[in-house]
Chain A
Amino acid sequence: MSLLRDLVEPECAEPNALGGFVQQFTSKNTGLYHDQWERDGRERFYQQHGEEFDESQFDEYFNAGGDHLHHDDLDAMLNRNMMRDHPQHMMYHGDEELFMHGIGEHQSSIPKEKHSELQHFFKDFISSSQSHHLLPSINLGDLGLSKLEKNIIKSRSEVLFRQLNEVKDPGYESDQLHRLIDALHIEEDNFDDLEEHWGSTVNNGMFNPPQQFGEEHQYKQEYPDYDEVEQDYDEAYENAIEEDVYDDEWDKITGEDDPFEDAWINGEDRSVDAAWDETARKSLTEITESITRINDPKLKRSNFMKLMNQLHSGDAQIVGNTLVHNNEQQQHTSEPHLEDIGDSWVNDYSGFTDTVSDERLRMYQFTINESRPEDTFEAGMDLFNQGLITDAIITLESEVMRNPENSEAWMYLGIAHAENDKDQQAISCLLKAIDLDPTNLKARMALSVSYTNDYQKERALETLEEWLVGNPAYSHINFSAIGKEEEELSTFQDTWKRHRHTSEWFLEAARQRPNEPDPEVQTALGLLYNMSYEYEKAVDCFKAALQNNSTDYQLWNKLGATLANSNRSQEALGAYFQALEQKPSYVRARSNLGISYLALNMYGEAAQTFLGALAIHPEAVHIWDNLKMVFRLMSRDDLVTKAERRDVNDFVNDFKFIEKMSFNPSTMSASWSPNVLPLNPPNTKFRCDYVDLKDYLVYSRKANDYFLYEINKIKSFNECQDVWDRLNTVSNLRLQLIDNCIGTTENEISQLTPQNKDELRQLRHKLNLLTMEKDVETVLQSSAKKTFHKICK
């Protein structure tokens, strides 16, 4: 018996002063349930449950004692639970009424009538926090909360508050929490210790994610693959240790001595004043909001409403007793003369520096230690234009290290990183460039692209808007008027609304030049449609942008990516080839091309392309991952293992990717004209060399893809027929060649004796490859047919 008593769970803690109604069940309790059970509970239990339970079973448990327990502790516990006494004055017979009322009636320190008040108070707190308004000052009177309860309220509200709002606003947060605390009469000194506790964890972890210091990337390169970790726990442990080392390093960086952090704290005043300003602005917003909600159309057009809207959206501010319009508004109220435009928008633009907040100006992680004098901006640009991106990055880094005020150098450094598929780095460089020269539109456009790639849609939209507002060519459009009726500019609650809004701006800008589309506006629209998954429209925009700008390799790549995203990988190939023709060292286009090959199940080509990209930019982890995926799909585990070493030179014998790189782009483009099919087919009648055949196929298919792309330009039906005939002939020729080769190989196999195991295996492998090649060709042919039918109709 005593053994069972020991098992009574420790549920006898002090009842909570607020609710405490559990105590109603245990008011007589001393934790000694089984004493009661022994006294009278047993009989009562049988009265209730006797029919369900066999008495002898109980006796068995009781008498067997500990011996029985270890057989199945849980079952024993279950039975023990059955035997427990019921709450004395609350025999539960499904009497819901009695039960529910328990809360208000019993021992709660909060008066019953205060319960709904408290509920409403918390509700107010939650809804006001969510909509970023301050809780009105309420006095709830004395609720008789204990110190512990107040602490609990304080800490839980704080955690809850963080879940409610995406935007981190320390000033607002502390104000709102203070309102809550005041209303509940929680004394300030009460939570000093709590602040310490909760505060410390917050400051350490949340708002300074390590990625700010460009470290995450480094760390990911070390452990990009989870697969191995899973198989090897020792290794996992090692990794975890090293991870901790990084953590430590990070702690060091964020330590007090860090000049960046110091600058951050000192430079931008985030002190009490800032918090007060913020509060003042908030309450102004609050006042004006109710007014701006008025729907009377007459009143809406009134100046008062305009002012209120401006105040509400932050376009205008009250400073002292005067009204100050912010730059955006000023821009179109003071109709500028054509000559002045340049100047005026430069001035107006100064406001945009504010949009690059310090938080976003992250530290750029240099790859070099010190700048070399011979690496000038010009040298960097030369390298960049030649397509030697990695070298260009080093040179430009030299330049910006020596000359950190050079906005243009920062911009090209950013663009170079973006071309190397490193958007995070690109973003920090481009932000720097914009910070130094807010008029740098090219940098803004590049930044929005990088944000899009980095899935930071909100920021991409913001940057696009800034680009448009800052563009002198469109300074005459009154942007704030567009879409203003539907929603408030400053209170963007969700990205989609904002997206719609930004799109409207750009459509308006596009309408200004209907006959001669501005490639940049079209590009921006293309990006916007990409974000909203409207790929058809995006394709049209990029094509329009390419009309006047057909040598822009980045545009070709964007077009390709959009086509690929809308499941038109076949067409995407053509666009990527165009991009690579303009700039053979363009890593992003290469990796995208590989992905499209992968989507078309052309694994060999995909691997070749990825290797080509890696030869230029060997540190690109995600390309290595893609490459490994290709090898897995090819069932070439040997190559997967090889890829772990991350050395492209290992693959020189497996794939011909190096030569591809050294192709001269000019000869390539000449040979890819739709009228000429390059490279004579290998003679496979007598001898079948797979490598030769493969080379021909790859080359010939590329021409095929280019054909498909060219076909879009064809106008008349006859022309179409002509091209199709030619294409079909070539495609049939390829099929014929493969068939021949398969025949030859089968012949060879049949001539071999089973003793020649190695040779036989090799031939079988070749046969497999050839069959796959045939499949690919059939797929290509049928998809080409489809495209043709669509276009020629």
Chain B
Amino acid sequence: MKRFKTNFNGYSVEFSPFEEQRLACATSQHFGIIGNGRQYVLDVLERDIVPYRVYDTRDGLYDCTWSEENENHLASASGDGSIKIWDTMAPSGERPLRSFQEHTKEVYSIDWNLVSKEMFVSGSWDLSIKTWSPRADMSIRTFKEHRYCIYSTVWSPRNPYHFASVSGDTSLKIWDHRDNRSLNTIKAHDNEVLTCDWNKYNEKEIITGSVDKTIRIWDIRLPDRPTSILRGHSYAVRRLKCSPHSDAMLASSSYDMSVIIWDRSREDPMLLKMDHHTEFVVGLDWNMFIDGQMASCSWDEQICVWNLGRVPPQQQQQFHHPLPPHHQMPPRP
């Protein structure tokens, strides 16, 4: 496992969608409670991880996302409510290409649209979600429905207009970018929902993680109850990422300082529980180019990159069946 020591507490880590070795990591001083922020751009080399660019901000950074249309651009979400677009061609220490100041409180999540590549979405503690274009001076739209801090906003992997958001009000909302009211609201958990992600192979499936320690898998057509629940973390689930290579694999990181790799095609879905961090694990990502390569960042000021190794053959078959035929409700005793 390769490690890189950051100066601040890691908050989010993302692999570049253009270059297999490039990694962005958003960090904050003092656990993001007060102080500065720093955006790292790193290169994962054969032996170790080296910094490529480092940019600093006035307030902590909570999330970052790579542009899908320009391999050099990177957006990060800041505690002062601003969104910064960085150009990694610019040398370290340079100021951002653009800074959008519209949110009035901490911006906690940011995600670039995978299909309609000129758009990204941000979610903030000011209870609003905004969609942006890096070309426009102002946000395109604002979505206000949540009743508490928004913790995560993620675009659908297939549909250019749909995105999901989760919030401290315990709900999961599905939105259409063209409509300022949500399409659907799911009361996803009993506690704050901190993270969500779409299954990359099934656009009807969303996975949420919450302070109640559970990961729930939702078919958005069946808002009644989750199609399944994954248990294994002993504290809040902070970040979830579905594998880009398999419909059954996902990874979760938690305030219990562990990372769990799940394979839902197995009888016991917990494939691997990793304890390589010594503080809350907040950031997590899969490498799109290298099957099984993952990165995590944590409040222990470490960024880790590792390869999962060979996946047992019976699971590998799953890769060729991206869409399960249907979700069946389990019978109830």
Contacts and interface: CB of A to CB of B under 8 A. Distances in A.
Interface string B138-169: 00000000111100000000000000000011
Nearest to B32: A156
Given A153-B33, A220-B223, A162 B147 contact: no
A224 B99 CA distance: 41
B94 interface: yes
A478 to B, nearest CB: 28
A561 B97 contact: no
Interface stretch (A118-126, A269-277, A719-727): A118-126
Contacts of A84: 90, 94-95
Nearest to B98: A9
Interface in B15-54: 29-36, 51, 54
Contact of B95 (A25, A152, A164, A558): A25
Contacts of B185: 243
B93 A99 contact: yes
Interface stretch (B230-238, B243-251, B284-292, B302-310): B230-238
A160 B146 CA distance: 18
A103 B221 contact: no
Interface in A581-610: 588, 591-592, 595-596, 598-599
Contact of B224 (A20, A237, A622): A622
B39 to A, nearest CB: 12
Contact of B168 (A162, A220, A452, A496): A162
A663 interface: no
B7 A229 contact: no
Interface in A403-443: 421, 423
A494 B213 contact: yes
B96 interface: yes
A19 interface: yes
A622 B97 CA distance: 50
Interface in B81-108: 87, 89-99, 101, 105-106
B211 interface: yes
Contact of B58 (A16, A92, A454, A592): A16
A533 B184 contact: no
B33 A240 contact: no
A160 B89 contact: no
A337 to B, nearest CB: 38
Contacts of B174: 226
B90 A81 contact: yes
A96 interface: yes
A560 B231 contact: no
B247 to A, nearest CB: 18
B305 to A, nearest CB: 20
Nearest to A623: B329
Contact of A595 (B135, B204, B235, B331): B331
B130 to A, nearest CB: 17
Contacts of A92: 91-94
B320 interface: no
Interface string B203-214: 010000001110
B100 to A, nearest CB: 9
A401 B114 CA distance: 55
Contact of A9 (B34, B59, B95, B332): B95
Nearest to A217: B224
Nearest to B72: A78
A201 B147 contact: yes
Nearest to B118: A74
B183 interface: yes
A27 interface: no
A264 interface: no
A205 interface: yes
Interface stretch (A365-373, A510-518, A625-633): A625-633
B236 A164 contact: yes
Nearest to A241: B181
A16 to B, nearest CB: 5
A513 B88 CA distance: 72
Contact of A205 (B7, B59, B101, B169): B169
Nearest to A247: B145
Contacts of B199: none
Contacts of B77: none
B148 A201 contact: yes
B101 A10 contact: yes
A166 B213 contact: yes
Interface in A93-116: 94, 96, 99-100, 102-103
Contact of A163 (B80, B93, B179, B255): B255
Interface in B232-272: 234-236, 238, 255, 267-268
Contacts of A216: 187
Using C-beta atoms within 8 Å of the partner chain, give the interface range for chain B: 35 or more
A209 interface: yes
Nearest to A13: B58
B99 A156 contact: no
Contacts of B33: 122, 152-153, 156-157, 160
Contacts of A526: 333
B170 interface: yes
B97 A9 contact: yes
Contacts of B134: 74
A457 B190 CA distance: 12
A768 B191 CA distance: 50
A64 interface: no
A126 B328 CA distance: 40
B58 A226 contact: no
A137 to B, nearest CB: 19
Contact of B31 (A126, A155, A162, A588): A126
Given A162-B168, A165-B211, A227 B99 contact: no
Contacts of A621: 224
Contact of B225 (A99, A118, A455): A455
Contacts of B274: none
A159 B148 CA distance: 10
Contacts of A455: 225-226, 229
B170 A209 contact: yes
Given A595-B329, A622-B222, A159 B30 contact: no
Contacts of A206: 147-148, 168-170, 192
Contacts of B224: 220, 224, 621-622
Contacts of B184: 223, 226, 229
A165 B169 CA distance: 15
B195 to A, nearest CB: 11
B94 A159 contact: no
B56 interface: yes
A11 B34 contact: no
B330 A78 contact: no
B70 interface: yes
Contacts of A423: 332
A526 B333 CA distance: 10
A162 B192 contact: yes
Contacts of A629: 326, 328
A552 to B, nearest CB: 13
Interface in A606-654: 621-622, 625-626, 629, 632-633
A356 interface: no
A243 B213 CA distance: 29
A527 interface: yes
B220 A226 contact: yes
Interface in A152-187: 152-153, 155-157, 159-160, 162-166
Query: Considering the complex of A and B, which 9 residue pairs feature the smallest CB-CB distances, nearest first?
Result: A205-B147, A240-B181, A19-B36, A592-B331, A205-B169, A561-B331, A558-B333, A494-B234, A226-B221
29 contacts: A10-B101, A13-B58, A20-B58, A21-B36, A74-B134, A77-B98, A99-B93, A122-B31, A122-B33, A126-B280, A145-B34, A152-B79, A157-B33, A162-B211, A163-B255, A201-B149, A204-B147, A206-B192, A236-B176, A453-B333, A454-B225, A560-B331, A561-B331, A595-B329, A622-B224, A625-B221, A626-B329, A629-B326, A629-B328
Given A164-B211, A625-B221, 12 more contacts: A11-B96, A22-B36, A26-B95, A81-B87, A94-B92, A156-B106, A163-B211, A164-B236, A206-B147, A453-B332, A595-B331, A622-B222
